[in-house]
Amino acid sequence: MKIIFTLFSILLLTLNLSVAQNRSTRKPGLSQKSKSSYLPKKGTISNSNNQESVNDNKGKLNSGVADPAPESNSKNITGIWKGYFISNSFGFAEDRYRFEVQLAQLPNNALNGVTYSYKTTVFYGKAEAKGINTIKTNNIILNELKLVDLKITEKSEPCLMTCYLEYNRMGELETLTGTYSSRNTNDKGDCGSGKVYLEKKLTSDFFKEDFVTKRENELKKKAKPVINKPATSNKPIAKNTLPKKPMLKPGAEQNLITKPERKPLPPAPETVVVPKKEQPVQTIKPPAIKTLPRPEILKSRENEIVKTITTHAKEFKIDLYDNGEVDGDRITVYHNNQLIVSNKTLTDKPIGFTIKADENNAAHEFVMVAENLGSIPPNTALMIVTAGSQRYELFVTSTEQKNAVVKIVYQPE
């Protein structure tokens, strides 16, 4: 029995030695199957066999440091936005309404504000609104909650709008554009939908809300005057150096060679130059530009510039219409302080005039003065400027405190 146990022990020892020898001859590492189940850690560099895994994770993390998040547009849209909205007409003429929105952007990007919708005598309404500004995508949702002021005809119905807008900026021009849907305040039915266009302005046609005034005061405090410091040069100032006298050894003064003095040359004979008679230079004076004194109505009211147009056309035509249905708006127009339209009523027929321009008469300023406010304030007009192949449609608004100014500048080609 002892002999059998001894032989069994020797056999086990032999097998263990054989297994240990096989393990010592195999190269350390993972099998191909094991390698595929492990990805390189984020932020580390793997070997060539794992290069595809590194490329898949490229852009997520690099050297253990996360890429910075894209910069968001942190523009504060608090202020006055003016423009219009157009209801879907299904092939008929566009139904355009004036639209003004005053917004306050809160710290959590929520929006609070008021809206004004109006179209002559057909409709006028003021509503409270709330919304949200998604800064990363520049998208804005504005929802009118309730009407606080309303004037409508029997053919109109009170409706509240929900606007889906996008913020854009092109130079100094800031816009909110998009679409809207609306609901009836009485039966919650559909009131239609359409397009919205708004531009940021500094003035309001109505009452300026307190949050707008507060924002303007904050921006004025942040604006600091720029002081231009005189330019200073960092170059060192050169020292005045005088030429050094040659050093002489003692007793060498006698060996110096002096240069012979040059005799002065005889004076040249005097030549008499007879001056030519100068012909008088003819100067052409530019034609005098007559400047008329500024009328008192332009001094007593604020003059707001609506638009400045630059054109190569030497002649342009201006037509003025009532913006919407006729409600009795009367205007007076001054061209470079000269009266050209006096207390005329705006209708669906144009009040037109043509102006010529040249190099000596390039700047033309037109001031629209409201003689009254019509049935529903303010006094609004559609101004169409045709200059060559260019055509401009401007919505001009004036009140008893503010005149509307349009400037046209001729520029030679």
Q: For residue 48, what is the DSSP state?
A: G
Which residue's entry shows tokens 């002892």? 2
pLDDT for residue 72 = 38
Q: Residues 184, 157: contact at Cβ < 8 Å?
A: yes
Residues 6+ apart with CB under 8 A from 315: 354, 355, 356, 357, 387
Concatenate the DSSP letters of all residues of 191-249 into one string.
EEEEEEEEEEES--SSPPPHHHHHHHHHHHHH--PPP-PPP---SPPPP--PPPPPP--
Residues of the chain with CATH 2.40.128.120: 79-218
Q: Do the strands 159-170 and 139-152 form a parallel or antiparallel pair, or are they unpaired?
A: antiparallel
CA distance 411 to 409: 6
Q: Reduced to 3 states, what is the DSSP secondary structure of residue 51?
A: helix
Average pLDDT per consecutive 10 residues, the chain (413 residues; last block may be shorter): 55 54 42 34 38 41 37 69 84 76 91 88 84 91 91 80 93 92 89 92 86 83 61 52 52 52 64 59 47 86 91 92 80 94 91 91 93 79 90 87 92 88
| Predicted local confidence at residue 180, as pLDDT | 94
C-beta of residue 83 within 8 angstroms of C-beta of residue 197: yes
**pLDDT at position 13:** 54
As annotated, the residues of the chain forming the CATH 2.60.40 domain(s) are 296-410
Tell me the C-alpha to C-alpha distance, in Å, between residue 11 and each of 6, 8, 130, 251, 294. Answer: 9, 5, 89, 120, 124
Going by their DSSP bridges, the two strands 402-410 and 302-311 should be labelled as parallel
Which residues make Cβ contacts (< 8 Å) with residue 97, sequence separation at least 6? 84, 85, 86, 87, 117, 118, 119, 123
Report the distance separating Cα 311 and Cα 304, nearest Å. 21
> Options 3.40.50.150, 2.40.128.120, 2.40.30.10, 2.60.40.1120; which CATH number does 79-218 get?
2.40.128.120
Taking the alpha carbons at both ends of the chain, their separation in whole angstroms is 123
Half-sphere exposure of 321 (CA within 13 A, CB side): 12
Question: Cα dist. 133→160, 218, 389 in Å?
Answer: 20, 21, 40
Q: Which CATH class is domain 296-410?
A: mainly beta
